[in-house]
Structure 1
Protein backbone atom coordinates (compact mmCIF):
# COMPACT_ATOMS: atom_id res chain seq x y z
CA UNK A 1 0.00 0.00 0.00
CA UNK A 2 1.15 3.52 -0.86
CA UNK A 3 -0.50 6.85 -0.16
CA UNK A 4 -0.62 9.40 -2.98
CA UNK A 5 -1.40 12.99 -2.02
CA UNK A 6 -2.65 15.63 -4.45
CA UNK A 7 -0.40 17.97 -2.51
CA UNK A 8 -0.71 21.46 -4.02
CA UNK A 9 -3.50 22.58 -1.71
CA UNK A 10 -3.75 19.71 0.76
CA UNK A 11 -4.15 21.05 4.32
CA UNK A 12 -3.63 17.64 5.99
CA UNK A 13 -0.20 16.61 4.67
CA UNK A 14 1.19 16.69 8.20
CA UNK A 15 -1.46 14.25 9.45
CA UNK A 16 -0.91 11.93 6.48
CA UNK A 17 2.86 11.88 6.93
CA UNK A 18 2.70 11.42 10.70
CA UNK A 19 0.13 8.63 10.71
CA UNK A 20 1.66 6.83 7.71
CA UNK A 21 5.12 6.88 9.31
CA UNK A 22 3.66 5.21 12.40
CA UNK A 23 2.73 2.24 10.21
CA UNK A 24 5.71 2.50 7.81
CA UNK A 25 3.49 3.25 4.79
CA UNK A 26 5.18 5.17 1.95
CA UNK A 27 3.74 8.62 1.13
CA UNK A 28 4.12 10.21 -2.30
CA UNK A 29 3.36 13.93 -2.50
CA UNK A 30 2.54 14.96 -6.07
CA UNK A 31 2.79 18.70 -6.60
CA UNK A 32 3.50 21.21 -9.35
CA UNK A 33 6.91 22.79 -9.94
CA UNK A 34 5.36 26.10 -8.89
CA UNK A 35 5.36 24.69 -5.31
CA UNK A 36 8.99 23.51 -5.47
CA UNK A 37 10.78 23.32 -2.15
CA UNK A 38 14.30 22.37 -1.11
CA UNK A 39 13.01 21.26 2.29
CA UNK A 40 13.92 17.69 3.11
CA UNK A 41 11.07 15.29 3.61
CA UNK A 42 11.04 12.74 6.42
CA UNK A 43 12.01 9.18 5.56
CA UNK A 44 9.25 7.33 3.76
CA UNK A 45 8.05 10.49 2.01
CA UNK A 46 8.79 11.18 -1.65
CA UNK A 47 7.89 14.30 -3.61
CA UNK A 48 7.14 14.10 -7.31
CA UNK A 49 7.03 17.39 -9.19
CA UNK A 50 4.89 17.82 -12.29
CA UNK A 51 4.24 20.63 -14.75
CA UNK A 52 1.87 23.37 -13.62
CA UNK A 53 -0.82 22.28 -16.10
CA UNK A 54 -4.40 22.06 -14.84
CA UNK A 55 -4.53 18.29 -14.35
CA UNK A 56 -0.86 17.28 -14.46
CA UNK A 57 -0.79 16.09 -10.83
CA UNK A 58 -4.06 14.19 -11.28
CA UNK A 59 -2.81 12.32 -14.34
CA UNK A 60 0.48 11.41 -12.66
CA UNK A 61 -1.32 10.11 -9.58
CA UNK A 62 -3.72 8.00 -11.67
CA UNK A 63 -0.80 6.61 -13.64
CA UNK A 64 1.15 5.62 -10.51
CA UNK A 65 -1.56 4.48 -8.09
CA UNK A 66 -2.61 0.84 -8.06
CA UNK A 67 -5.33 -1.26 -6.53
CA UNK A 68 -5.05 -1.17 -2.74
CA UNK A 69 -3.38 2.25 -2.64
CA UNK A 70 -4.88 5.41 -1.13
CA UNK A 71 -5.31 8.79 -2.79
CA UNK A 72 -6.02 11.95 -0.80
CA UNK A 73 -7.53 14.71 -2.94
CA UNK A 74 -10.23 17.34 -3.01
CA UNK A 75 -10.59 16.87 -6.78
CA UNK A 76 -13.75 14.97 -7.69
CA UNK A 77 -12.41 14.23 -11.16
CA UNK A 78 -9.29 12.55 -9.77
CA UNK A 79 -11.46 10.62 -7.32
CA UNK A 80 -13.65 9.39 -10.18
CA UNK A 81 -10.56 8.08 -12.00
CA UNK A 82 -9.17 6.30 -8.95
CA UNK A 83 -12.28 4.47 -7.80
CA UNK A 84 -12.58 2.08 -10.80
CA UNK A 85 -8.97 1.01 -10.23
CA UNK A 86 -9.80 -0.26 -6.72
CA UNK A 87 -8.10 2.67 -5.01
CA UNK A 88 -9.39 4.11 -1.76
CA UNK A 89 -9.95 7.84 -2.25
CA UNK A 90 -10.31 10.26 0.66
CA UNK A 91 -11.18 13.96 0.85
CA UNK A 92 -9.23 16.14 3.28
CA UNK A 93 -12.48 17.14 5.03
CA UNK A 94 -12.83 13.58 6.26
CA UNK A 95 -15.09 11.72 3.89
CA UNK A 96 -14.51 8.83 1.58
CA UNK A 97 -15.36 8.96 -2.11
CA UNK A 98 -17.41 5.93 -3.14
CA UNK A 99 -19.10 4.56 -6.23
CA UNK A 100 -22.35 5.60 -4.54
CA UNK A 101 -21.48 9.29 -4.00
CA UNK A 102 -19.13 10.19 -6.87
CA UNK A 103 -21.83 10.76 -9.52
CA UNK A 104 -23.69 13.21 -7.28
CA UNK A 105 -20.46 15.05 -6.43
CA UNK A 106 -19.52 15.34 -10.11
CA UNK A 107 -23.04 16.51 -11.01
CA UNK A 108 -22.93 19.21 -8.33
CA UNK A 109 -19.54 20.37 -9.60
CA UNK A 110 -20.82 20.49 -13.17
CA UNK A 111 -23.94 22.46 -12.26
CA UNK A 112 -21.84 24.96 -10.30
CA UNK A 113 -19.48 25.40 -13.25
CA UNK A 114 -22.42 25.98 -15.62
CA UNK A 115 -23.95 28.53 -13.25
CA UNK A 116 -20.66 30.44 -13.01
CA UNK A 117 -20.23 30.28 -16.79
CA UNK A 118 -23.65 31.89 -17.22
CA UNK A 119 -22.64 34.73 -14.89
CA UNK A 120 -24.24 33.57 -11.66
CA UNK A 121 -22.37 33.82 -8.42
CA UNK A 122 -21.97 30.64 -6.42
CA UNK A 123 -20.74 30.03 -2.91
CA UNK A 124 -17.23 28.72 -2.51
CA UNK A 125 -16.27 25.90 -0.20
CA UNK A 126 -16.75 26.38 3.52
CA UNK A 127 -13.57 27.24 5.44
CA UNK A 128 -11.45 24.29 6.57
CA UNK A 129 -11.89 23.85 10.33
CA UNK A 130 -10.21 22.03 13.18
CA UNK A 131 -13.24 19.72 13.23
CA UNK A 132 -12.52 18.87 9.58
CA UNK A 133 -8.90 18.06 10.51
CA UNK A 134 -9.99 15.73 13.28
CA UNK A 135 -12.63 14.10 11.08
CA UNK A 136 -9.93 13.44 8.47
CA UNK A 137 -7.48 12.10 11.07
CA UNK A 138 -10.10 9.68 12.41
CA UNK A 139 -11.07 8.40 8.95
CA UNK A 140 -7.46 8.20 7.77
CA UNK A 141 -6.32 6.22 10.80
CA UNK A 142 -9.26 3.85 10.31
CA UNK A 143 -8.47 3.32 6.61
CA UNK A 144 -4.73 2.73 6.99
CA UNK A 145 -5.22 0.40 9.95
CA UNK A 146 -7.65 -1.92 8.18
Structure 2
Protein backbone atom coordinates (compact mmCIF):
# COMPACT_ATOMS: atom_id res chain seq x y z
CA UNK A 1 0.00 0.00 0.00
CA UNK A 2 1.46 3.38 -0.97
CA UNK A 3 1.16 6.42 1.25
CA UNK A 4 -0.44 9.43 -0.36
CA UNK A 5 0.66 12.80 1.01
CA UNK A 6 -2.03 15.17 2.21
CA UNK A 7 -2.98 17.79 -0.36
CA UNK A 8 -4.19 21.35 0.03
CA UNK A 9 -6.16 22.55 -3.00
CA UNK A 10 -6.30 26.32 -3.34
CA UNK A 11 -8.72 28.58 -5.19
CA UNK A 12 -5.72 30.71 -6.10
CA UNK A 13 -7.11 33.70 -8.00
CA UNK A 14 -7.70 35.94 -5.00
CA UNK A 15 -6.04 33.95 -2.24
CA UNK A 16 -4.02 36.21 0.09
CA UNK A 17 -2.29 33.35 1.96
CA UNK A 18 -0.41 31.54 -0.81
CA UNK A 19 3.00 31.96 0.85
CA UNK A 20 1.60 30.72 4.17
CA UNK A 21 0.19 27.67 2.41
CA UNK A 22 3.54 26.89 0.77
CA UNK A 23 5.40 27.14 4.09
CA UNK A 24 2.82 25.08 5.94
CA UNK A 25 2.63 22.21 3.45
CA UNK A 26 6.42 21.93 3.30
CA UNK A 27 6.60 21.89 7.10
CA UNK A 28 3.92 19.20 7.34
CA UNK A 29 5.16 17.00 4.47
CA UNK A 30 2.07 17.73 2.38
CA UNK A 31 1.57 19.22 -1.07
CA UNK A 32 -0.45 22.12 -2.44
CA UNK A 33 -2.22 22.60 -5.73
CA UNK A 34 -2.88 26.24 -6.66
CA UNK A 35 -5.56 26.62 -9.33
CA UNK A 36 -5.96 29.98 -11.08
CA UNK A 37 -7.07 31.54 -14.33
CA UNK A 38 -4.71 32.91 -16.99
CA UNK A 39 -5.31 36.38 -15.52
CA UNK A 40 -3.25 35.43 -12.44
CA UNK A 41 0.32 34.24 -12.85
CA UNK A 42 1.38 31.94 -10.01
CA UNK A 43 4.80 30.35 -9.68
CA UNK A 44 5.29 26.71 -8.69
CA UNK A 45 7.76 26.01 -5.91
CA UNK A 46 8.81 22.95 -3.90
CA UNK A 47 5.70 21.00 -2.79
CA UNK A 48 3.45 23.48 -4.67
CA UNK A 49 2.01 22.65 -8.09
CA UNK A 50 0.27 25.32 -10.17
CA UNK A 51 -2.56 24.67 -12.62
CA UNK A 52 -3.75 27.46 -14.88
CA UNK A 53 -7.23 27.21 -16.39
CA UNK A 54 -8.87 29.43 -18.98
CA UNK A 55 -10.30 32.78 -17.94
CA UNK A 56 -13.94 31.84 -18.43
CA UNK A 57 -16.29 32.42 -15.53
CA UNK A 58 -16.09 29.62 -12.96
CA UNK A 59 -13.36 27.66 -14.82
CA UNK A 60 -11.13 27.42 -11.74
CA UNK A 61 -14.07 26.43 -9.53
CA UNK A 62 -15.18 23.70 -11.95
CA UNK A 63 -11.65 22.34 -12.25
CA UNK A 64 -11.30 22.21 -8.47
CA UNK A 65 -14.74 20.67 -7.92
CA UNK A 66 -14.03 17.92 -10.44
CA UNK A 67 -10.67 16.87 -9.02
CA UNK A 68 -11.20 17.19 -5.25
CA UNK A 69 -10.84 14.05 -3.17
CA UNK A 70 -12.15 13.22 0.26
CA UNK A 71 -8.66 13.48 1.73
CA UNK A 72 -8.09 17.05 0.44
CA UNK A 73 -8.25 20.37 2.24
CA UNK A 74 -9.83 23.11 0.13
CA UNK A 75 -8.84 26.74 0.71
CA UNK A 76 -11.46 29.14 -0.64
CA UNK A 77 -13.48 32.19 0.29
CA UNK A 78 -16.13 31.28 -2.28
CA UNK A 79 -19.10 29.70 -0.49
CA UNK A 80 -20.43 28.09 -3.67
CA UNK A 81 -17.11 26.29 -4.17
CA UNK A 82 -17.00 25.50 -0.45
CA UNK A 83 -20.38 23.76 -0.79
CA UNK A 84 -19.04 21.68 -3.69
CA UNK A 85 -15.92 20.83 -1.66
CA UNK A 86 -17.99 19.68 1.31
CA UNK A 87 -20.14 17.56 -1.02
CA UNK A 88 -16.94 15.86 -2.24
CA UNK A 89 -15.92 15.15 1.37
CA UNK A 90 -13.04 17.64 1.54
CA UNK A 91 -12.27 19.78 4.57
CA UNK A 92 -12.85 23.46 3.78
CA UNK A 93 -11.10 26.47 5.28
CA UNK A 94 -11.26 30.14 4.31
CA UNK A 95 -8.14 32.29 3.88
CA UNK A 96 -9.05 33.93 7.21
CA UNK A 97 -8.84 30.56 8.98
CA UNK A 98 -12.56 29.84 9.36
CA UNK A 99 -13.43 26.16 9.04
CA UNK A 100 -16.60 25.68 7.02
CA UNK A 101 -18.69 22.70 8.06
CA UNK A 102 -21.78 21.08 6.56
CA UNK A 103 -23.98 22.73 9.19
CA UNK A 104 -22.62 26.20 8.25
CA UNK A 105 -22.92 26.15 4.48
CA UNK A 106 -26.66 26.62 4.05
CA UNK A 107 -26.66 29.84 6.11
CA UNK A 108 -23.54 31.14 4.35
CA UNK A 109 -25.08 30.52 0.92
CA UNK A 110 -28.34 32.18 2.00
CA UNK A 111 -26.43 35.26 3.21
CA UNK A 112 -24.48 35.39 -0.06
CA UNK A 113 -27.73 35.23 -2.03
CA UNK A 114 -29.35 37.94 0.10
CA UNK A 115 -26.37 40.28 -0.32
CA UNK A 116 -26.28 39.72 -4.09
CA UNK A 117 -30.00 40.44 -4.30
CA UNK A 118 -29.51 43.71 -2.37
CA UNK A 119 -26.67 44.77 -4.70
CA UNK A 120 -28.77 44.00 -7.79
CA UNK A 121 -31.47 46.22 -6.28
CA UNK A 122 -29.01 49.10 -6.03
CA UNK A 123 -28.28 48.86 -2.32
CA UNK A 124 -24.75 49.01 -1.00
CA UNK A 125 -23.57 46.11 1.10
CA UNK A 126 -20.59 45.87 3.39
CA UNK A 127 -17.51 44.32 1.89
CA UNK A 128 -15.08 42.17 3.83
CA UNK A 129 -12.95 43.71 6.55
CA UNK A 130 -9.33 44.45 5.59
CA UNK A 131 -7.14 41.36 5.70
CA UNK A 132 -4.82 41.45 8.75
CA UNK A 133 -1.69 39.74 10.07
CA UNK A 134 -3.95 38.13 12.69
CA UNK A 135 -5.99 36.60 9.84
CA UNK A 136 -2.77 35.19 8.34
CA UNK A 137 -1.65 33.74 11.67
CA UNK A 138 -5.09 32.21 12.37
CA UNK A 139 -5.16 30.67 8.91
CA UNK A 140 -1.68 29.16 9.23
CA UNK A 141 -2.45 27.73 12.69
CA UNK A 142 -5.75 26.18 11.54
CA UNK A 143 -4.19 24.74 8.37
CA UNK A 144 -1.34 23.23 10.38
CA UNK A 145 -3.82 21.69 12.82
CA UNK A 146 -5.88 20.23 9.95
CA UNK A 147 -2.83 18.73 8.25
CA UNK A 148 -1.47 17.28 11.49
CA UNK A 149 -4.88 15.76 12.28
CA UNK A 150 -5.00 14.14 8.85
CA UNK A 151 -1.49 12.74 9.30
CA UNK A 152 -2.49 11.24 12.64
CA UNK A 153 -5.47 9.52 10.97
CA UNK A 154 -3.13 7.94 8.39
CA UNK A 155 -0.73 6.73 11.08
CA UNK A 156 -3.39 4.95 13.19
Shared fold (TM-score, shorter chain, > 0.5): yes
Q: Which structure 2 segments of 5+ residues have no match?
A: 1-5, 150-156
Alignment correspondent of 1:138: 141
For 1:32 and 1:59, locate their aligned partners in 2 and report how far apart those are by CA, in whole Å: 12
TM-score, structure 2 normalization: 0.89
SS class of match (1:135): helix
Q: How does 1:21-60 map to 2 (within 5 A)?
A: 21-37=26-42, 39=43, 41-60=44-63
SS class of match (2:39): helix
Alignment correspondent of 2:111: 108
Q: Which structure 1 segments of 5+ residues have no match?
A: none
Consecutive aligned runs of 4 or more in structure 1 exceeding 4 Å deviation: none
SS class of match (2:52): strand
For 1:13 and 1:87, locate their aligned partners in 2 and report how far apart those are by CA, in whole Å: 19
Decide which of 17, 24, 40 is 1:19's aligned counterpart.
24
CA root-mean-square deviation: 1.0
Q: How many residues are matched?
A: 144
SS class of match (1:11): coil
Shift of 1:118: 0.7
TM-score, structure 1 normalization: 0.95
For 1:54 and 1:128, locate their aligned partners in 2 and report how far apart those are by CA, in whole Å: 25
